[in-house]
Amino acid sequence: MKKIRVGYVSFGTMFYEPANLKMISARAEKQLTDAGLELVKTDPVFGEGTEPERAIRELKLQEWDFLFINIINWIDTRGVFRVLHEFRNEPMILYSLGGFTDHEGRFGEKGTLISPAAGAGSTSLRFPMEQWGIKFKYLFNAPDSPMDIEGILSFAKAAAAMKGLRHARLGMIGYNDMGLYSTGINPTKLRDLIGPEVESMDMLQLQRKMDAIPEEEIRAEAKRVSKDWEYPLGKPGEEVIQKAVRMYMGTVALCKEKKFDTFSYKCVDGVDLEMGLTHAVPSSLVADAGYPYVDENDLGNSVAQLILKWISGKQVTFIEHYEHHPEWMLLGEDGYCPSDFIEGKPQIKDVSTVLLKGIAHCSNMKKGRMTLACLSETKEGYRMHIVTGEGKERPRWVEMGVPLPSWPSVTFYPDVPVRQVLDHVQSQHFAAVYGTYVNELVDLCKLLEIEVVLDARI
């Protein structure tokens, strides 16, 4: 996972010795670097003379993901706001650093709680920062206690994802598969409010990329990716496997050329209908190549997957509703499964029909805690539906017209009643990742002014 870079500046009063300010700030700096953050530092700032201008110059020398405003004692607010005003369009943490007990008697009688009064300084800033529209989170720690590293890291991941979204590119073949109203997003609005660009390409462009790949490269890659595959219904012909691999390689070539961060096929009305093969295995391999994939031109969940990838540092997937029970939901996908979601060896079955020949996953999905997120456009902006729960063993089931074994799937037990989830559901798809990342998602949504619907346990 890419290291998060933090612009770091601490603020104190000119009536304290600079050495003491550096000593207090150094305690915080060590905790932040020990937590894995990379600091772009400037010395503690005091007063409203030349110090704020010095800090501004030094903080502008390098790039960073967010600004950490560490209030280490009471302050001259005008000097602080000179720095904050300069960076007012960047995400920030406003931090109130707790005091400490003087065990050595350096500042008076031993055993005395020394309060530099950071609480006074930080509370004098919070409301004006809100009035200015600065995107920030206000955190603190108790005296003699570690810093709120969990809260800091949650915001740090959200801020880094926010920065990344400004430069993200979403690629797809076609647009508006099956005329679905739950998957389309206004690209102008998306670019304005969240950041990513969208580019739709034609099947002809994909076909040309596929045709340009030499046969020997196709055979070598097919051998590599299929070395652990098992075939419960018998091995399909090599030409079927190689055709799926050719599509995956052509797609990855497009993603590299166009610098896409995610990808989607127009599958039912597009690839599957017109190109003579199922998209399931090619799209799984595209995801394994580092490009989160979602079916049916689902732009909202393309963004949701990218967010989950960046805040978790893990491989992500999309997942679809099949059945609902008062206590659980059957969630899966028709032949798609990235490698990190597979339990055991990949299981591949032939799903050929009179119209096409193809292969699909029937692999068993891993179990465990999951975070699901769905991003949708609203009249005002965007809404994210966040759900947490436990993925457990799938039942023995099939989608009508398809032979066993079952599609990759889990019996998902949400942390709230299924009825509550369905009252808030926004799409047939969720973006999904293993683990719990609710705080990070909420922090990011606050930064981007995305409405949040929580059906989750934090």
To which H or E segment does residue 160 belong?
A: helix 149-165
**Do β-strands 197-201 and 169-173 pair in parallel, antiparallel, or remain unpaired?**
parallel
Nearest to 44 by CA among 75, 85, 78: 75
DSSP assignment of 392-435, as one string? Answer: EPPPS---TT-PSSPPSEEEEEESS-HHHHHHH---SEEEEEES
pLDDT confidence of residue 353: 61
CA distances from 11 to 16, 81, 135, 137, 450 (A): 11, 11, 19, 17, 31
To which H or E segment does residue 453 belong?
A: strand 451-455
Contact 156, 305 (CB under 8 A): no
Neighbours of 234 (CB within 10 A): 7
Neighbours of 43 (CB within 10 A): 15
Question: Can you tell me the distance from the alpha carbon of 136 to that of 231, in angstroms, rounded to the nearest whole number?
Answer: 52
Half-sphere exposure of 28 (CA within 13 A, CB side): 30
For the record, the structure tokens of 74 come out as: 């009471």
Question: Can you tell me the distance from the alpha carbon of 446 to that of 158, in angstroms, rounded to the nearest whole number?
Answer: 9
pLDDT confidence of residue 358: 87
Contact 240, 352 (CB under 8 A): yes
Per-residue 3-state assignment (H helix, E strand, C coil) for 21-32: HHHHHHHHHHHH
Nearest to 103 by CA among 93, 91, 113: 113
* Cα 206 off chain centre by: 27
Beta-ladder partners of 413: 390
Contact 421, 387 (CB under 8 A): yes
Q: pLDDT tens digits, the chain, 458 residues: what are they?
A: 679 999 999 999 877 777 778 888 999 999 999 999 999 999 999 888 899 999 999 999 999 999 999 999 888 899 999 999 999 999 999 999 999 888 877 777 788 988 888 999 999 999 999 999 999 999 999 999 999 999 999 999 999 999 999 999 999 998 887 777 788 889 999 999 999 999 999 999 999 999 999 999 999 999 999 999 999 999 999 999 999 999 999 999 999 999 999 999 998 888 888 888 899 999 999 999 999 999 998 999 999 999 999 999 999 999 999 999 999 999 999 999 999 999 999 999 998 765 567 899 999 999 999 999 999 999 999 999 999 999 999 999 998 888 899 999 999 999 999 999 999 999 999 999 999 999 999 999 999 999 999 999 88
User: Which amino acid type is present at position 160?
Assistant: A
Nearest to 319 by CA among 287, 271, 352, 347: 287
Per-residue 3-state assignment (H helix, E strand, C coil) for 178-211: HHCCCCCCCHHHHHHHCCCEEEEECHHHHHHHHH
Neighbours of 231 (CB within 10 A): 16
| Percent helix / strand / coil, the chain, rounded to 5 | 35, 25, 40
Buried b / exposed e across 387-422, counting CB within 10 Å, b at 16+? bbbebeebeeeeeeebeebbbbbbbbebbbebeebe
